[in-house]
Amino acid sequence: MDILTLDKKKIPNHIAVIMDGNGRWAKKRDLDRVEGHKEGVEAVKRTVKACIEADVRFLTIYAFSIENWARPLAEVESLMELMVFALNSEIEELNRQGVSLKTIGDISMLPKNAKAVLQDCIDRTKNNNKLTLVVALSYGSRWEIVEACKKIASNVNKGEQKIDDICEKTLNDSMCIPDLPDPDLLIRTSGERRLSNFLLWQLAYTEFYFIDKFWPDFQKEDLYLAIYNYQNRERRFGKTSEQI
Ligand code: FPP
């Protein structure tokens, strides 16, 4: 699949990705799981470039779920180190490419140095506007929704929010990144077909695309094929075909 095959007028504004299968990719090659994660970082770099070339404006990647904290300590530590290493080595390139980095998730749970490096990258890329790369880290959608409810309840308590005025926008505005548009397309690799507590609120009208390849094998062409597939769907948002 070539980028030229795509309809430039129907490029998804926001793509969300569940990058799955790093562990199985490594196991198949008799390697340590962390080698799969390292190759996974390469796939992230390819995907960021491919999104920029296709003019996708937002890319959200599921890098570490709240549930992932329960993995063996050695894997959790390796993932954190890998992230710090990747951010430090890629910051210049992110800036060169015009990428603005943001995160969603319970960042307070991250090790101190990871938090510092992440914040530094967010600060140093905040004025870029070609692509917003949202990294979901220590993220769980139910956690995000519970936090949003707490914020709203606290505003009600303080008299700053009337219960009758609570609407979808109130919830939206209470999410980790209030002005983040909903994803148009969700891609999950590795053949699994579930959401795994990812963006449950935001994916209400998103198109889903599943691919059997493991994440480290994900190529530019796979992204373009996913976009091509998306472009050939009819998004009705509850209306009839005739109304669209
Ligand atoms: C899922 O594969 C992958 C992860 C839990 C980690 C993904 C993280 C990266 C690719 C690194 C991201 C780095 C930056 C800088 C954003 P899995 O381990 O669940 O694979 P399995 O299902 O085959 O075991």
How far is ligand 1, taken at its centre, from the CA of residue 215, in Å? 8
Handedness of CA 179, 128, 119, 198 (dihedral sign): positive
What gap in Å lies between CA 195 and CA 233, rounded to an integer?
A: 20
Condensed to tens digits (0 to 9), the pLDDT of residues 136-172 reads 999 999 999 999 999 999 999 999 999 999 999 999 9
Any atom of ligand 1 within 6 Å of the Cβ of 110: no
Q: Which of 216, 208, 183 is nearest to 19 (CA)?
A: 216
Instruction: Name the one residue in this structure whose structure tokens are 């490029």.
Output: 11
Does the beta carbon of 21 sit less than 6 angstroms from any atom of ligand 1? yes
Domain that holds residue 15: 3-231
User: Is any ligand 1 atom within 6 A of the Cβ of residue 227?
Assistant: no
Residue 101 lies in a domain: yes
Q: Of 132, 129, 127, which Cα lies nearest the Cα of 58?
A: 132
CATH of residue 78's domain is: 3.40.1180.10
Is the distance from CB of 86 to CB of 64 less than 8 angstroms? Answer: no
pLDDT at 207: 97
* Mean pLDDT, range 99-105, rounded to an integer: 98
- Active site positions, annotated: 20, 68
| Alpha carbon of 121 to ligand 1 centroid (Å) | 20
Report d(CA 189, CA 164) in Å as an integer.
41
- Tell me the average pLDDT across 5-16: 97
pLDDT tens-digit readout, 195-216: 999 999 999 999 999 999 999 9
What are the tens digits of pLDDT across the range 113-136?
Answer: 999 999 999 999 999 999 999 999
Nearest CA to ligand 1 atom 3: 20
Number of domains in the chain: 1
Q: Is 124 among the domain residues?
A: yes
Q: Which two tokens stand for residue 108?
A: 């307070």
What atom in ligand 1 is closest to the CA of residue 86?
A: 15
